[in-house]
Chains A and B, each alone.
Chain A
Amino acid sequence: MTRVVVSGLGVVSPYGVGAKTFWAGLATGECTIRPLTVIDTEGFRSRIAAEVPADVLPGIGVSSRRSRADRIALAAAREALAEADLAPRDRAEMGLFVGAVGGGMLEGEEWYCEEKSGRPSSRIRALRSILPVSHAETLAWRLRLGGPRETVVMACASGAASIALGADVIRSGATPLVLAGGVDAITHICFMGFNALKLLDPEPCRPFDRGRRGMSIGEGAAFLVLEDADHCRARGARVLGELLGAGMTTDAHHVTAPHPDGEGMIRAMVDALAASGRAPADIGYVNAHGTGTPQNDRVEALALVRVFGEGRVLVSSTKSLIGHTMAAAGSMEAAATLLSLQHGLIPPTVSLRDPDPEVPFDCVPGTARSVELGAAVSNSFGFGGQNVSLVFGR
Chain B
Amino acid sequence: MSARRRVVVTGLGSVSAAGCGGSSAVAAALERSAETIAPLKAFTVPDCASRLAAEVDDEELMTLLNADTVRRLSRICRMAVAACRLAAEDAGLEGGARLGLSVGSEYGDFRSGAEFFNGFLRRGPGGLSPMIFPNTVMNSMAAVVAIATGAKAPSVTINQATVAGDLAVLRGAALIASGRADAVIAGGVDEIFLDVYRGLCALGALSPMAGGAREGCRPYSADHNGLVMGEGATFLVLEELEAARARGATIHAEMLGSAWGSIPVAPHTAPASRRDAHQTVRRALERAGVAADSLGRSYGSGNGDPALDDWELRLLEADGIRNPVSLAPLFGQHGGLGALRAAAGTLAARADGAPALVHGIARGGCRTAMVIGRAA
Q: Is the CB of A250 within 8 A of B153?
A: yes
- Collect the chain B residues with CB atoms within 8 Å of residue A254's CB: 147
What is the minimal beta-carbon distance from B76 to any residue of chain A, in angstroms?
Answer: 14
Q: Of all chain B residues, which has the CB nearest A174?
A: B259
A145 within 8 A of B: yes
Q: Is the CB of B154 within 8 A of A250?
A: yes
Q: Is the CB of A386 within 8 A of B133?
A: no
B157 within 8 A of A: yes
Residue from B128, B195, B268 in contact with A192 in the complex, judged by beta carbons closer than 8 Å: B128
Q: What is the total number of residues of chain A having a CB less than 8 Å from a CB of chain B?
A: 72
**B145-181 CB contact bits vs A (8 Å, 1 = yes)?**
0110111111111111100000100010010011010
Q: What is the total number of residues of chain B having a CB less than 8 Å from a CB of chain A?
A: 71
Mark the stretch among A148-156, A293-301, A317-325 that contacts chain B: A148-156
A sample of 29 cross-chain residue pairs with beta-carbon separation below 8 angstroms, ordered by A number, consists of A112-B114, A113-B121, A116-B118, A128-B268, A133-B161, A136-B366, A137-B268, A137-B364, A140-B264, A143-B264, A146-B263, A147-B278, A151-B159, A153-B159, A154-B157, A155-B137, A161-B156, A171-B1, A192-B120, A192-B128, A193-B116, A196-B133, A248-B153, A249-B153, A250-B155, A256-B134, A383-B139, A384-B142, A385-B155
Among B126, B260, B264, find the residue whose CB has the most chain A CB atoms closer than 10 A.
B264
- Collect the chain B residues with CB atoms within 8 Å of residue A62's CB: none
Known: A109-B117, A251-B152. A195 touches B128 (CB 8 A): yes
Known: A112-B114, A155-B139, A250-B153. A145 touches B159 (CB 8 A): no
**A344-365 CB contact bits vs B (8 Å, 1 = yes)?**
0000000000000000000000
Mark the stretch among A3-11, A19-27, A51-59, A92-100 that contacts chain B: A92-100
Q: How far, in angstroms, from A358 to B285 measured CA to CA in the complex?
A: 55
Q: Of all chain B residues, which has the CB nearest A45?
A: B125
Q: Is the CB of A253 within 8 A of B147?
A: yes
Known: A116-B118, A195-B128. A148 touches B267 (CB 8 A): no
What is the minimal beta-carbon distance from B181 to any residue of chain A, in angstroms?
Answer: 9
* Cβ-Cβ contact count across A and B, 8 Å cutoff: 202
Residue from B125, B151, B199, B262 in contact with A127 in the complex, judged by beta carbons closer than 8 Å: B199
Among A115, A252, A255, find the residue whose CB has the most chain B CB atoms closer than 10 A.
A252
What is the minimal beta-carbon distance from A316 to any residue of chain B, in angstroms?
Answer: 26
What is the minimal beta-carbon distance from A240 to any residue of chain B, in angstroms?
Answer: 24
Q: How far, in angstroms, from A100 to B365 measured CA to CA in the complex?
A: 19
Q: Is the CB of B136 within 8 A of A189?
A: yes
Known: A100-B159, A124-B199, A255-B140. A149 touches B366 (CB 8 A): yes
B138 within 8 A of A: yes
What is the minimal beta-carbon distance from B279 to any residue of chain A, in angstroms?
Answer: 10
Q: Is the CB of B160 within 8 A of A133?
A: yes
Main secondary structure of the interface of A (DSSP, over half): mixed
B143 within 8 A of A: yes
B129 within 8 A of A: yes
Q: How far, in angstroms, from A155 to B141 measured CA to CA in the complex?
A: 12
Task: List 6 additional contacts besides A141-B364, A150-B160, A383-B134; criterion CB under 8 Å.
Answer: A93-B278, A112-B114, A146-B262, A148-B262, A189-B116, A384-B142
Q: How far, in angstroms, from A115 to B161 measured CA to CA in the complex?
A: 24
Q: Is the CB of A384 within 8 A of B146?
A: yes
B296 within 8 A of A: no
What is the minimal beta-carbon distance from B146 to any residue of chain A, in angstroms?
Answer: 4
Residue from A133, A146, A153, A252 in contact with B147 in the complex, judged by beta carbons closer than 8 Å: A252
Among A144, A172, A196, find the residue whose CB has the most chain B CB atoms closer than 10 A.
A196
Known: A112-B117, A255-B147. A149 touches B261 (CB 8 A): yes
